[in-house]
Amino acid sequence: MSRPRFGRRHVGIRFGSRAVVVIGLFVLVAGGRAVAQQASGRPDLAGGSGASSPASRVPEVPATVTFAKDVAPILQKNCMQCHQSGSIGPMGLTTYEEVRPWARAIRQRVLSGEMPPYRYDRDVGIQQLKDDLRLSDTEVQTIARWVDTGAPLGNRADLPRSPTFPDPNTWAYANEFGPPDLIVRTKPFTLPARGQDVWWRPIVPTGLDEDRCIRAVSVKPSLRGRAAAHHANSEFVVLDEKSGQWVETERVSEYALGKVGEVVPLDACRTLPANSMVRWDVHYYPTGEEIVDDVIEMGIWLYPKDYQRTYKQDLKLYSLLMKGGELEMPPHSTVMTQGFHSFKTPVRIDSFQPHGHFRLVAKTLEIFSPETGKLEMISSISNWTNDWHTSHIYADDAAPLVPKGAVLVVTGYYDNTKENKQNPDPDQWVGLGSRTADEMSHAWIAVTHLDDEGYTKLVAERDARKKAAATTARDRQ
């Protein structure tokens, strides 16, 4: 079976008593390779930011490119943190001697967008993102030209000063917020060297006796165990006095390899309940080495005690299987699933994190407006990989402001053929499940729940900032 490709599709959907036509940007169609269909316009949701025009970005690459002057600074900024001794990269990239044997492989990976490991399509949807690891077009073309011209060293005197990298055990937001206010650890767990999927679900206390608003959260696996920790979900549970059972109140976080963490916006509160426990759900997969007494840590930064929240934020799982829908992939097949979610109040979408396993190859987030009939692309990841699970956090003035009644449309594309390089066995039937060999169909989305007044206020503030910026730009011309 040939590799599927993306093209336009029309889907008829009924909202209440009204039938509407949703025009999607992507569909799996037999016959070609998976490629992104370019958007014809810019998202115009309140405060949304569209992609910049491809024609407007012409990379300015030096005629002569050397490692010392041009390439080494790019690698220092974007690659060496992981590609150094003792870190997670499979090879070091800290010197010319280390980099030169891998020059062609590096060129291929950066041109394809596989490295640095931040999969997110350009030129479609919102492009203003926090913690965006993608190289600029100029950086990509600089590396490509360097390799194409023989990968010369150049003058060693042009080499930048060797950087000092933080300890890999340093917390993700330590530079911004200092050490965590609270660290919650799993109970120790010993993972055998070989075997099947293993789940570890300890429950541990937070130690806080009052409600607090979370400022940021980051999960940190151990250095030895991070390759084996597929994910580490966590939720707050409190004791229900009537039933005597511990019940979930808030999702804390969802960690998977590649995710840095989450920062709660200044106008929102994700609540850490008083006298709560954290219920962990850690999914391990043996990697050939026994890991003794492994512990996963979660750092939580808190807003001050007198912080007054304006809106509630939560992180939830948004399914792509609606009301009993099933996910089944026959051998050598491709599958598409869609989920639809709406809200009773206006909301702001703060982050979008696709989730899946080996057969998921792409996922998109769109927003449909029943009032206008428009379907706006928000985020598209058309080269998704199970190796890296990234939470795409929208910049403050780019996070979509979604009016009441609008519909989130989350679409997943699956490839169970031999053309999918991630696929361990295209001869297998694959269904929904928690094992690594199974498949999943959801996305983690952080949502701030607004009211009508707050929505109108945020829209007006963004419009004012856009007008001021446009006036400043004109004045500088």
pLDDT tens for each residue of 59-90: 788 888 999 999 999 998 888 878 887 777 78
Q: What is the pLDDT of residue 36?
A: 30
Span 125-184, pLDDT tens digits: 999 999 888 999 999 999 999 999 999 999 999 999 988 877 777 898 998 999 999 999
The mean pLDDT value of the chain amounts to: 84
AA letter at 317: L
- Reference 127, options 32, 54, 24; nearest CA is 54
Mean pLDDT of 443-463: 94
CATH 2.60.120.230 holds for 1-37+310-477: yes
CA distances from 363 to 163, 382, 392 (A): 36, 6, 12
pLDDT at residue 248 greater than cutoff 70: yes
**Residue 54: CB partners within 8 Å, gap ≥ 6?**
38, 123
DSSP-assigned states of every residue in 288-334:
SS-EEEE--EEEEEE--TT---SEEEEEEEEESS-SS---EE-TT-E
Mean pLDDT of 391-407: 94
**Residue 243: CB partners within 8 Å, gap ≥ 6?**
none
C-alpha span between 98 and 94 (Å, rounded): 7
Domains 1-37+310-477 and 170-309 share a fold: yes
**DSSP-derived secondary structure letter, 344:** S
Domain range list for the chain: 1-37+310-477, 59-158, 170-309
Q: For the full predicted model, state whether its pTM sits above 0.75.
A: yes
Fold held by 170-309: Jelly Rolls (2.60.120)
